[in-house]
Structure formats: C-alpha cells, structure tokens
C-alpha cells in the first residue's frame, strides 16, 4: 500500500487543489475563536467529511496550570458615527473586533474610543487580527487609513457579545491500525477569517484523514482539531495516561501559501518523524528548510513540553510571523493557493508512507549477492549503467542485516524512500528478504501469522501481505 500513489491515482493535482480550496472557502466566513458556536460549527463541517468525536469541557475545568475559560460568542459589533452610519462593521469582517471582547454599548468621544482601536500602520489597508483571551478588554481592529479618517465627535460603540460559562470544544478522529501505537496529527481551529493560519492546516488534515480512512494501516491515527494552546493543554490533561502510544506526531499549519516547506523538528531533534519529514522534503522537488526546535510556535510547544517530550514536529510552508499577511485580513482566500494545498497533502501522504513502510529486514541470502538475473531482477544486457530500481535493490540487499531501517537505507543510498520500499517489497516477494520484529514492542512483523494481540478491532480486513 502506498498512500501517495493512491492519492495521485485518484485525482490529478489540479482537481485535488480545487477541492481543498473549496473547503477553505466554505469555512472562511465563520467567526471562530477558542470557544463558542463558530468553533462548534467548524467541527460539524469537518464531521460531515470524517468521523469526528466532539468533546465539550466545561468552563472552569483545571487543566495543568491553566483553567478552561468562559465561552465567547458574538452576534454583532459596530462603531456608528454621529449620523448613525456604521464606520466599522463586524458584519463586513469578523476581524473587526478584538476577539474575546467584553460586551459594550456606549457613546463616547473619539479620544475615549482610540485606546480600543487596533491598526497596522505598516500596512494601512489591512485589518489586524487581535485577541484578548485572558485579560478582560474590548476593542475594534481596522485599517489604519480608516482610523485616520475618523473625525472628532461622538461615536456609538456596540459589541453584542457574551462571555459566559459554557464549554471548550474540540474534535478527535481516530482510525485504528494493526498496532495501538499512534500517529498524532494536530491542527488548530480557533482563528476567524484567516485562510493560511488555521484553515489550510485543518483542510489538509481533514483530507488526509479521509484518505487514511480507506486504508489498511500499520499505525493507529489520531487527528485533533483543537483550539490553539488551551485546546492542546486540555487534550493532553485528559489523555495523560495514553500518551505513551504516540510514536510520531505532526502539527499542520500554514501550509496553503506560496512559500516553500518548513519543518520545525520535535524537541528530541532526532525522532523518527524528524528524519521522515526531512527525507520527504529533500526529495519532493520544492525548496524546503529544516528548523531546529524552539519553545515558541504552535501546539508542538505543548506536545514537546519537558514532561511529555512527545516526538511531534510542525510542518508549515511560510513560517508564522515571518510573512506580512500573518494575522491580518490579507491572510485571505487568495493568499492560499489550490496548488499549494494539493502539494501539502501530497507531502503529508509521502510522510505517512515513510512512517507506515519504515521497517527492518533481514537478507535471507547474505553470502555474496544473490543472482538477481535468474530471478528477472537485474538488467538483461551487461555493460549498461544500472537503473535506480536495480540500485535500490542492491542497497536494500546489502544493508538489510536486521539493523538498518528502510529509511536509513534510503538516506545512505541517496534515493527516495518509495524506491527503497518498492525494492524491499519486490525482494520480499522473491523470497530474498524477511521482515524483522519491531524492536520496541517485540510485535510480530506485518505479514506473520501472529497479529498484535492488543490491537483495537479493525474496520477493514487486514491484508496478509502489503
């Protein structure tokens, strides 16, 4: 089974990109926050595509050093001038309000209003995205040129919001594989009309989950659709006992813009996920960069906190905070490109292929090279240079001593993982290789007659051999 092959065979990149972008378009208008109806509506729309278990955690619940906040909902917000005209209107953009604003309805002078106005002077036409989750405040965000045009006088200010006891909501999609060991894919779903920062990640994660739902999988997969920071902290607090199952993890975010890929390594720095992503990015043909772990960023901060130190990295295109559109109204539907979304899903599929296919084998014929020609596994005419396929077979045979994983072989050979994995499949079919039991769990290798006894029942019949 090859997930990327399946994806490419299913539809061409252009159609895939259009489909992914259409989902971003659908989600874009919703006013999401770390709690509230917009977040729940977003989860319902994801639930229309994949099986999602939705959890509601009450306000006031202690989660490690944090407390689940009150729930925020907003119906309307505006600033009206002396003629009753809305000069700032939440109905035009949900970015116009400071998110988590307290309700307010008052008339005030421009000088009283100004401390509550947020603009971006360096980009005077854009609305900044600002929040005040943990400090009571209210405010409006608007283009700088719009603020400068406000004349002295009285303004009617209204934020029709509520900040009340309620719930923090998150969604979880789980597929059981042959092993209870898990791959964790996490994305935040708490930003309002921002396309790259939140919608690109959740769209690619949803599509990846849809794709994996049809596959026979080695690992179990858990997709988290959570509000940033407090959502990850809440999920970790509620799942502390089973975190040992997480063998590999990825935070997906900001993967729809025109930039090249960036991968921020896990805190461990040399986890399998770090090596798998580095390998895939090196071979996928677009520019890419590997970043060392740092304790600031997205929810990898929580997964990689020292008490957990989970092997979770973060896959992005442009890095948050480094592009001017970040956290502004310019992170819109044109900032996110269909082709980039499709490319990101393909890279995610290739990463999963490495995780799924990376294993150790033993060469069953280790005394000199086996004669490949008599098995039709070598070129027919001597003297020609060998193809990538044959080169991959020789590397797999030589390094399959039970110690080297296929990923290590691919790295050493300088060949893409898929070429090495295909070679291993072929050599195995020809009786030249045998899989070695997983070192960590001692579980019988795939294809042997002893399935992992602890595994969760499968939705699909497990194939005897890939």
Q: What residue ranges bind Zn ion (CB under 5 A)? A: 197
What tokens does 305 get? 């906190």
Report the C-alpha gap between 248 and 346 in whole angstroms.
18
- Alpha carbon separation from 220 to 185, 244, 402, 456 (Å, rounded): 11, 13, 24, 9
Smallest separation (angstroms) from Zn ion to the CB of 191: 5
Smallest separation (angstroms) from Zn ion to the CB of 321: 9
Residue with token string 């049809």: 214
What tokens does 81 get? 């001038």
Nearest residue to Zn ion by CB is 197
Please identify, using beta-carbon distances, which residue of 323 and 361 lies nearer to Zn ion: 323
- Alpha carbon separation from 335 to 115, 171, 194, 312 (Å, rounded): 30, 26, 10, 27
Smallest separation (angstroms) from Zn ion to the CB of 297: 10
Could you give phi then psi for residue 58, rounded to 5 degrees?
-65, 145
Q: What is the 3-state secondary structure (H, E, C) of 343-410?
A: HHHHHHHHHHHHHHHCCEEEECCCCCCCCCHHHCCCCCCCCCCCCHHHHHHHHHHHHCEEEEEHHHHH
Smallest separation (angstroms) from Zn ion to the CB of 372: 53
- The count of C-alpha atoms lying within 13 angstroms of the C-alpha of 139, restricted to the half-sphere facing its C-beta, is 21
3 state SS of 105: strand
Report the C-alpha gap between 204 and 365 in whole angstroms.
43
Please identify, using beta-carbon distances, which residue of 218 and 327 lies nearer to Zn ion: 327
Smallest separation (angstroms) from Zn ion to the CB of 336: 14
Please identify, using beta-carbon distances, which residue of 188 and 404 lies nearer to Zn ion: 188
H-helix or E-strand spanning residue 77: strand 71-80
Please identify, using beta-carbon distances, which residue of 188 and 393 lies nearer to Zn ion: 188
Smallest separation (angstroms) from Zn ion to the CB of 428: 45
Q: Are 357 and 407 in contact (CB under 8 A)?
A: no
Please identify, using beta-carbon distances, which residue of 130 and 222 lies nearer to Zn ion: 130
Please identify, using beta-carbon distances, which residue of 197 and 325 lies nearer to Zn ion: 197
Please identify, using beta-carbon distances, which residue of 4 and 190 lies nearer to Zn ion: 190
Please identify, using beta-carbon distances, which residue of 79 and 314 lies nearer to Zn ion: 314
Smallest separation (angstroms) from Zn ion to the CB of 331: 9
Quickly list H helices, 70-136.
Answer: 110-113
Please identify, using beta-carbon distances, which residue of 194 and 280 lies nearer to Zn ion: 194
Q: Which residues, other chains included, contact 210 with Cβ-Cβ below 8 Å and sequence gap of 6+?
A: 49, 50
Sign of CA dihedral 92, 97, 103, 108: negative
Smallest separation (angstroms) from Zn ion to the CB of 131: 9
Please identify, using beta-carbon distances, which residue of 182 and 197 lies nearer to Zn ion: 197
Smallest separation (angstroms) from Zn ion to the CB of 197: 4
Smallest separation (angstroms) from Zn ion to the CB of 253: 8
Q: Are 113 and 157 in contact (CB under 8 A)?
A: yes
Sign of CA dihedral 378, 381, 387, 391: positive
Please identify, using beta-carbon distances, which residue of 187 and 354 lies nearer to Zn ion: 187
β-partners of residue 97 are 140
Smallest separation (angstroms) from Zn ion to the CB of 462: 40
Please identify, using beta-carbon distances, which residue of 139 and 254 lies nearer to Zn ion: 254
β-partners of residue 371 are none
Closest by CA position to 192, among listed 101, 106, 316: 101
Smallest separation (angstroms) from Zn ion to the CB of 172: 21
What tokens does 52 get? 């999602």
The CA dihedral of 400, 404, 407, 408, to the nearest 10 degrees, is -120
């Amino acid at each position: 089974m090859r997930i990327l092959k399946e994806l490419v065979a299913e539809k061409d990149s252009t159609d895939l990109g259009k489909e992914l972008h259409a989902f971003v378009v659908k989600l874009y208008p919703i006013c999401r926050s770390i709690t509230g109806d917009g977040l729940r509506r977003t989860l319902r729309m994801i639930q229309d595509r994949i099986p999602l278990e939705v959890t509601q955690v009450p306000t006031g619940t202690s989660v490690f050093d944090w407390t689940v906040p009150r729930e925020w909902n907003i119906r309307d917000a505006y600033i009206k001038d002396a003629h009753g005209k809305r000069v700032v209107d939440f109905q035009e953009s949900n970015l116009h309000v400071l998110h988590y604003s307290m309700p307010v309805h008052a008339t005030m002078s421009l000088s009283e209003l100004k401390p509550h106005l947020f603009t971006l002077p360096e980009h005077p036409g854009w609305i900044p995205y600002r929040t005040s989750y943990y400090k009571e405040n209210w405010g409006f965000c608007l283009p700088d040129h719009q603020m400068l045009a406000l004349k002295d006088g009285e303004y009617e200010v209204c934020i029709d919001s509520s900040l009340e006891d309620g719930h923090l909501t998150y969604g979880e999609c789980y597929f059981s594989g042959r092993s209870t060991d898990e791959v964790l894919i996490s994305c935040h779903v708490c930003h309002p009309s921002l396309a790259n920062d939140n919608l690109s990640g959740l769209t690619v994660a949803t599509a990846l989950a849809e794709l994996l739902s049809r596959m026979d999988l080695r690992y179990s997969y858990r997709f988290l659709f959570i509000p940033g920071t407090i959502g990850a902290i809440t999920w970790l607090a509620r799942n502390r006992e089973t975190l040992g199952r997480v063998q590999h993890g990825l935070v997906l975010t900001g993967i729809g813009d025109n930039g090249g890929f960036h991968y921020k390594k896990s805190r461990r720095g040399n986890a399998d996920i770090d090596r798998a992503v580095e390998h895939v990015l090196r071979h996928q043909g677009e520019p890419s960069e590997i970043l060392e772990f740092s304790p600031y960023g997205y929810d990898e901060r929580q997964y990689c906190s020292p008490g957990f130190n989970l092997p979770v990295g973060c896959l992005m295109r442009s890095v948050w905070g480094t592009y001017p559109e970040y956290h502004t109204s310019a992170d819109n539907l044109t900032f996110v490109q269909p082709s980039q979304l499709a490319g990101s899903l393909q890279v995610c599929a290739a990463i999963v292929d490495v995780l799924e296919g990376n294993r150790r084998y033993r060469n069953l014929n280790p005394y000199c090279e086996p004669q490949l020609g008599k098995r039709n596994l070598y070129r027919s005419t001597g003297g020609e240079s060998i193809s990538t396929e044959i080169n991959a077979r020789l590397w797999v045979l030589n390094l399959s001593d039970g110690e080297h994983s296929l990923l290590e072989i691919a790295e050493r050979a300088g060949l893409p993982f898929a070429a090495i994995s295909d070679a291993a499949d072929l050599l195995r079919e020809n009786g030249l290789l045998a899989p070695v039991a997983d070192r960590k769990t001692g579980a019988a290798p795939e294809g042997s007659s002893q399935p992992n006894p602890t595994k969760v029942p499968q939705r699909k019949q497990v194939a005897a051999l890939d």
